[in-house]
Structure 1
Amino acid sequence: MPAIVGVVQVISIGSSSVFNIGDVYKIMPVSTAKTFSGAGSFNTGNGLNVYNKRSSTNTFDRDAIDQGPYLNA
């Protein structure tokens, strides 16, 4: 079924990113990354106000191996 897309604003795209508008059969990552960030770090928008009184990010990871992009062609 065809996709109907309205207005899209793209500020930037990273070198390993995928940007798709419309129909797609399969999108598979070819790299992985683990990101730790505090409260309000990935908020986007115009005129955004974020108030964090006390914030801490737990970066302890008890497992040794995370899932990778295995079997992606």
Structure 2
Amino acid sequence: MPAITGPIQISNMGSGTLQFGDAAVISPKQATKTINGSGAANTGAIIATVSAINGTNVLDVNGVDQPIAGNN
């Protein structure tokens, strides 16, 4: 079913899929995990982040977070 969209702003796109229009199946071909501190992954055209001292401690016990072997 076609759709009419309003204004679209794409500030940055490093990799991935940008889909406009109809699609039956879209499946990821890559999966990554990023661990950031407070305000480190904010996205947008204008960002103002004020953070005090922070620390990010990570204990990841998962062997596989998102398997993508069957997404071909």
The two structures have a TM-score, normalised by structure 1, of: 0.74
Q: Which residue of 2 aligns with 1:19?
A: 18
Shift of 1:23: 2.6
Structure 1: gaps of 5 or more residues: none
Contact 1:5–1:22 (8 Å) recurs in 2: no
Alignment partners' CA distance in 2, 1:61 and 1:23: 37
Aligned length: 72
| Deviations 1:19-73 (CA, angstroms, capped at 9, x unpaired) | 1123322111112111111121222234422111132223210222322112112
The one of the two structures with greater contact order (alpha-carbon pairs below 8 A, sep at least 6) is 2
Residues 37 and 6 of structure 1: CA distance in aligned 2, closer, same or farther (over 3 Å): same
Unaligned 5+ runs, structure 2 = none
Report if aligned partners of 2:11, 2:45 keep a CA contact under 8 Å in 1: no
Question: Closer, same or farther in 2 for the Cα pair 1:24/1:2, shift >3 Å?
Answer: same
CA contact (8 A) 1:4 1:22 kept: no
Distance 2:44 2:65 in 1: 31
CA RMSD of aligned residues (A): 1.9
Please, what TM-score do these two structures have when normalized by structure 2?
0.74
